[in-house]
């Protein structure tokens, strides 16, 4: 059974702080690691999809890295802003069209 | 930007009733999914659908559940006889089979079984 874990469960940071969270996943039969940003009352929004070991992706102040050999990915937010407050979900899949299995999410609150 | 549309946004139903949740995926996407999230729990996979058939389903997706793509645009999830524990947010998603692209999710249907 594919089990995806995330830590921490929740995080409160001050505006301007940089932060990071972790996603861990089984490294066997890995194909892709997805990160989603999910604001309350909205649909999850795809941030990154990474497939290659050592991949690094960046979108504005948010970046992610991937280590498929050890089965983890980090999401970094530089200079957090209140609008970054959301739940960040990671999900891992075994093939290009397979379902992905979601982690429990990290809930981020950025305090102005 | 293309969107996945789900209707209704909120449905209240009595236990034992049938419900149909509707989704319109993005038109050029080939893969379709239903996920759900029970309040306070993880987002859980229900079923994936490709080439007009189910490609994979989870243990949750028992005989009470079915999916259909009746007209080439809608993608529906039917629950035949709802139970209290079916109360959850149900998300539809679609994707292309292209590296680097994630799912596009709909905004969800909140199902409340009373």
Residue bearing the bigger pLDDT, A97 or A92: A92
Do residues A109 and A40 make contact, with C-beta atoms less than 8 angstroms apart? no
Sign of CA dihedral A88, A94, A96, A101: negative
Q: Is the peptide bond before B8 cis (omega within 30 degrees of 0)?
A: yes
> So what's the pLDDT on residue A96?
63
Nearest by CB to A97, from B43, B45, B50: name it: B50
Please indicate if any CB of chain A lies within 8 Å of the CB of B84: no
> So what's the pLDDT on residue B97?
67
CA A110, distance to chain mean position in Å, is 17
> So what's the pLDDT on residue A29?
75
> So what's the pLDDT on residue B28?
86
- Is pLDDT above 80 for A97? no
Chain B: give the shortest CA distance to residue A32, in Å. 8
What is the spatial distance between Cα B54 and Cα B77, in angstroms, rounded to a whole number? 12
Strands (E), A1-99: 5-7, 10-14, 19-24, 32-38, 45-50, 56-59, 62-67, 72-77, 86-93
Helix (H, G, I), strand (E, B) or coil at A70: coil
> So what's the pLDDT on residue A109?
96
Contacts of B95 in chain A (CB under 8 A): 97
Do residues A26 and A33 make contact, with C-beta atoms less than 8 angstroms apart? no
Please indicate if any CB of chain A lies within 8 Å of the CB of B24: no
Chain B: give the shortest CA distance to residue A8, in Å. 14
List chain B residues with pLDDT less than 70. 97-101
Quick one: average pLDDT of A79-99?
Answer: 88
Closest by alpha carbon to B72, among B34, B107, B108, B25?
B25
Do residues A3 and A55 make contact, with C-beta atoms less than 8 angstroms apart? no
The confidence band for A94, taking pLDDT boundaries of 50, 70 and 90, is confident
Helix (H, G, I), strand (E, B) or coil at A82: helix
For chain B, give the number of residues.
Answer: 114
pLDDT in tens, A15-73: 999 999 999 998 887 888 999 999 887 889 999 999 899 999 999 999 999 999 999 99
Do residues B40 and A10 make contact, with C-beta atoms less than 8 angstroms apart? no
């Amino acid at each position: 059974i594919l089990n995806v874990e995330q830590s921490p469960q929740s995080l409160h940071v001050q505006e301007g702080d940089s932060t990071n969270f972790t996603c861990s996943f089984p490294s066997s039969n890995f194909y892709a690691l997805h990160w989603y940003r999910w604001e309350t009352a909205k649909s999850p929004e795809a941030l990154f999809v990474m497939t290659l070991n050592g991949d690094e992706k960046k979108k504005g102040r948010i970046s992610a890295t991937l280590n498929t050999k050890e089965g983890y990915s980090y999401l970094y937010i530089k200079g957090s802003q209140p609008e970054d407050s959301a739940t960040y979900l990671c999900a891992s899949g075994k093939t290009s069209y397979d379902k992905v299995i979601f982690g429990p999410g990290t809930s981020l609150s950025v305090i102005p | 930007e293309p969107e996945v549309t789900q209707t209704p946004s909120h449905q209240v139903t009595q236990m034992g009733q049938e419900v149909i949740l509707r989704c319109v995926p993005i038109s050029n996407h080939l893969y379709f999914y239903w996920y759900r999230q029970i309040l306070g729990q993880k987002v859980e996979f229900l079923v994936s659908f490709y080439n007009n058939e189910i490609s994979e389903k989870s243990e949750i997706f028992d005989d009470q559940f079915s999916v259909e793509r009746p007209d080439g645009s809608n993608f529906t999830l039917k629950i035949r006889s709802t139970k209290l524990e079916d109360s959850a947010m149900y998300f539809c998603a679609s994707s292309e089979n292209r590296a680097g692209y994630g799912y596009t999710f709909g905004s969800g249907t909140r199902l409340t079984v009373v």
